[in-house]
Amino acid sequence: MYDLIGDIHGCANALKALLAKMDYREHDGVWRHATRQVIFLGDFIDRGPQQVEVMKIVRAMVDAEAALTVMGNHEFNAVAWATPISPGTDTYLRPRTDDNRRQHAEFLDQVGEDSEDHEKLIEWFRGLPLWLDLPGLRVVHACWHTPSFDALAEHLDARQRIRDEAAWVALTRKGDPAYEALETVLKGLEIPLPEGVAFKDKDGKVRRHVRTRWWKDHPITYRDLALAPTEVIPQIPHEPAPEGILPGYVGDKPVFVGHYWMSGTPRPLSPRVACLDYSVAAGGKLCAYRWDVERELFDAHFCWVDVDRSQPATRGSAL
């Protein structure tokens, strides 16, 4: 039986409170349960005040087989930020633009950019799988999408881990089919809006594609399927989307995702899909689902703690 935990984003106090609430106890530096195992959904880092401490907890649990995990887009970006396109160059897989640095600055400050701890974490992130297909359930950071898995296959090993340096280069090269597939798996499925329709995102950038509620498969309008901030929704037309534009989810196992900054009271997105990202980094909830081999999901199996945002940032702690 598994306890699945959503995006943590450097909120270590919330993580410890949630583990304790689910009857995990720390012993010799590892949080364990007598009969259960955690599955983390990725996005351990960036934004929050206690990112190094989060990584101590998560790494210790995974390395001691008290937990499993998948990679989130923030771990992928961290590796790409730290990895030159080729040895000896000062050009990196993730361009070191001001905007990209701003998104990653808290992590770099807390761990110490280019420190030994930073290098250790980057190497650990490299070995995380992109998804898990386990007996009875499935786990991926943002979107369970078989066509994307197929497009990624040549770049992954048998455990869905990125194979080698050539694979990292391909997965960060815009325009490569593998890049687009990875974007879907780690950030969600986007579709084009009708011709002539666009909206401005929170940064003022004009967007002609919209991220979707990919798990839906019945007739739906563009506005209904859009995963976008509340203020953006009125810019998206209320006209029917083409039939079949969303893959839906028809698997016989439940699938768990993070990534989507949900709010309100946690509940399933559909009978077999649950999102466990409840905006922890914005003062929301750190959310888990206590899975007991059920095929259809229950409201009562969600478990969460509210986030204390008063904690100061911690820096430079050895892993």
- In tens, the pLDDT along 84-126 reads 998 888 899 999 999 999 999 999 999 999 999 999 999 999 9
What DSSP designation does 155 have?
Answer: G
- Band (pLDDT 50/70/90 cuts) for residue 307 is confident
Q: Assess contact for 241 and 220: CB atoms under 8 A.
A: yes
Structural domain contains residue 72: yes
Cβ neighbours around 204 below 10 Å, total: 6
- Which residue did the predictor score with more confidence, 285 or 244? 285
Percent over 70 (pLDDT), the chain: 96
Q: Assess contact for 207 and 198: CB atoms under 8 A.
A: yes
Instruction: Please indicate, yes or no, whether residues 103 and 148 belong to a single structural domain of this protein.
Output: yes
Counts of helices then strands in the chain (DSSP H, E): 9, 16
Q: How confident is the model at residue 199, as a pLDDT?
A: 86
Instruction: Please indicate, yes or no, whether residues 94 and 204 belong to a single structural domain of this protein.
Output: no
Structural domain contains residue 10: yes
Instruction: Please indicate, yes or no, whether residues 150 and 167 belong to a single structural domain of this protein.
Output: yes
Going by C-beta distance under 8 Å and a sequence separation of 6 or more, which residues neighbour residue 165? 83
Domain count, the chain: 2
Mean per-residue pLDDT, 139-166: 98
Tokens 């990919």 correspond to 214
Going by C-beta distance under 8 Å and a sequence separation of 6 or more, which residues neighbour residue 103? 46, 77
Mean per-residue pLDDT, 265-270: 97
Q: How confident is the model at residue 176, as a pLDDT?
A: 94
Tokens of 288: 């888990």
Closest CA to 152 of 126, 178, 184: 178
- Which residue did the predictor score with more confidence, 202 or 42? 42
pLDDT higher than 70, residue 317: no
Going by C-beta distance under 8 Å and a sequence separation of 6 or more, which residues neighbour residue 124? 59
Averaged pLDDT of the chain: 94
Helix or strand or coil: residue 162?
strand
Look up the domain containing 67 and give its range: 2-182+252-306
Instruction: Please indicate, yes or no, whether residues 92 and 233 belong to a single structural domain of this protein.
Output: no
pLDDT higher than 90, residue 184: yes
Instruction: Please indicate, yes or no, whether residues 213 and 256 belong to a single structural domain of this protein.
Output: no
Question: What residues pair up with 79 in beta bridges, in sequence order?
Answer: none
Q: Which of 203, 220, 246 is the last residue of a domain?
A: 246
- Which residue did the predictor score with more confidence, 308 or 246? 246
Please give the single-letter amino acid code of residue 181: A
- Which residue did the predictor score with more confidence, 310 or 210? 210
Q: How confident is the model at residue 311, as a pLDDT?
A: 64
Q: Which of 227, 246, 265 is the last residue of a domain?
A: 246
Mean per-residue pLDDT, 67-76: 99
- Band (pLDDT 50/70/90 cuts) for residue 275 is very high
Tokens of 66: 């008290």
Rg (CA), the chain: 19
pTM of the model as a whole: 0.94
Q: Assess contact for 74 and 43: CB atoms under 8 A.
A: yes
